[in-house]
Amino acid sequence: MELYVTLEEVKKSIPGYVDYGKDDDRLTRLIKAAQSNLEKRLQRSLTDEGCLSDEGNLDEALRTAIIVKVATLYDTTSEISYARPYNTGIVEDLITPFIKFRGGSEV
């Protein structure tokens, strides 16, 4: 699976993160999980034309959504979060324009 964000980008986005190199495998798994989750949410592949910039790179909003999702997954190891009792909606705001709605009929 192609990674659309680097480990370094993710590490820089986690508040207070200190890189000892021991979390690289975990962070790589989280990047893959975030990308897979994003494709399912968008109902399309991240390689689709609408997700790519004119240069052929993943759109910055989608890259940012992956980074935010990874940082959140890394920071939240439990289903219940007492420090963050609400969803800020950052990822949804970033990805909504890219959702490819399926179903319905064309007129």
With 0.85 as the threshold, say if the pTM is over it. no
Task: Using 70 as the pLDDT threshold, list the residues of the chain that sit under it.
Answer: 77-88, 103-107
Please name the residue that has the structure tokens 């997954």. Answer: 73
**pLDDT of the residue at 107:** 44
Interacting residues of 47 by C-beta distance below 8 A, sequence separation 6+: none
Helix runs in the chain, H state only: 7-13, 24-42, 60-75, 90-95
